[in-house]
Amino acid sequence: MQTDQLDPQLLNDLLTLLLQHPDGIAEHQLLKALAEQGYQAFQPSLEPLALFQAHFLLFHLLYRQQQAWYQQGHGWLQIDCLKIQFQPQRPHQPTHDTQSTPPQLDDPLRRYYLDIEQYRQTQTDDVIELLDSFWRSLARSPDTTQIQQAKGLLEITEETITLEQVNRHYRRLSQIHHPDKGGDSERFRQISQAAETLRKSLGYKKT
């Protein structure tokens, strides 16, 4: 890690940028602003490892600032790739003990970014594997909207679903909408796709 990456001036410049954007600022805007101020760690790059290191270092600093602001009683730093925002109102806590750890400070993602060894030990192959895993997961797992639409098509009203339940609803509707039984082919295609979507959400492949 280069010396400027944890230089007090870097922390001050980051703090200034956050306070200059009370309505929030996106990660890519912060990275660009820090690069324009001359910090080599945030210079644009197409290399996977360099991209990972810039992202990790920024979030490492943000989570440190989040904890400092909270413990000093100044407020809360909301951290998201699309919007990073200082919120003067602290999250509701049962006590005013600034040394206690609120639920928002005790989560796996925060612990990951505060562990600087993750930065030091992660290599190019690790980054590529992380990206591959992300895209595989994205392709495999339907989002909430897709799941709700699929449940509607299969006429499933229960909040929690099981594979048996999906197959039961699919078989019942297939008896009605299968073209061989006089049903509508487009409707049958929709319910077949809906069943496959729900199976994927449960971690099953089409049977």
The reported pTM is: 0.59
- The top-scoring range by mean pLDDT among 45-49, 95-99, 115-119, 184-188 is 115-119
Instruction: Check: CB of residue 147 under 8 Å from CB of residue 201.
Output: yes
| 134 and 154 together in one domain | no
Contact between 10 and 4 under an 8 Å Cβ cutoff? The reply is yes
User: Based on the domain organization, do 50 and 124 belong to the same domain?
Assistant: yes
Number of structural domains, the chain? Answer: 2
One domain, residues 20 and 105: yes
Tell me: do 74 and 126 sit in the same domain: yes
Answer yes or no: do 123 and 189 share one domain. Answer: no
Residues 155 and 132 in one domain: no
31 in the same domain as 101: yes
Q: Do 152 and 190 have their domain in common?
A: yes
Length of the chain: 207
Please state, in angstroms and rounded to a whole number, the distance separating the CA atoms of residues 31 and 133.
25
Residue 132 is assigned to a structural domain of this protein: yes
> Could you tell me the residue range of the domain that residue 188 belongs to?
144-201
For residues 102 and 169, state if they share a domain: no
Tell me the C-alpha distance between 29 and 14, whole Å: 12
Whether 124 and 50 map to the same domain: the answer is yes
- Last residue of some domain: 122, 140, 158? 140
Domain assignment of residue 80, yes or no = yes
- Separation of alpha carbons 177 and 183, rounded Å: 4
Token pair of 44 as six digits: 């644009």
Residue 119 and residue 163 in one domain: no
The predicted-structure confidence for 153-162, as pLDDT tens digits, reads as follows 999 988 888 9
Q: pLDDT tens digit string along 82-138?
A: 889 998 865 454 444 444 445 466 678 888 999 989 998 999 888 888 877 766 665
Domain contains 207: no
Does residue 100 share a domain with residue 39? yes
DSSP string, 141-195: S--HHHHHHHHHHTT---SS--HHHHHHHHHHHHHHH-GGGT--HHHHHHHHHHH
Average pLDDT over residues 14-28: 93
Residue 206 lies in a domain: no
